[in-house]
Amino acid sequence: MANTVQAKKRARQAEKHRQHNASMRSMLRTYIKRVIKAIHSGDPAKAEAEYQIAVPVIDRMARKGMIHMNKAARHKSRLIHHIRAMPAPA
């Protein structure tokens, strides 16, 4: 346990940062899941719209260091490949 004032402050800050990071990670996952849900619904227009909303969020999390740049690129690549593989609406 922290004994000094400085160590107590760092413990408080670490907890605050941990909670903020958890919130941001959860938000990222939610946006990705929304795209996946739209893909499974079978509507290419909706899937593309959700993808366009998710991309800036994914990029922002990568820029902030929440996830690695390569992981962000991998998510975007896989999502767009699934969207492009969807059959065109009849």
CB 83 within 8 A of CB 55: no
Fold entry, domain 5-84 = Methane Monooxygenase Hydroxylase; Chain G, domain 1 (1.20.58)
Q: What is the pLDDT of residue 87?
A: 86
Encode the chain (90 residues) as per-residue pLDDT tens digits: 788 999 999 999 999 999 999 999 999 999 999 999 999 999 999 999 999 999 999 999 999 999 999 999 999 999 999 999 998 776
- Distance set, CA 52 to CA 1, 5, 10, 80 (Å): 46, 46, 38, 10
Helix, strand, coil tally for the chain in percent (to 5) = 80, 0, 20
**pTM score of the predicted model:** 0.86
| Structure confidence at residue 90 (pLDDT) | 61
pLDDT at 38: 96
* CB 50 within 8 Å of CB 30: no
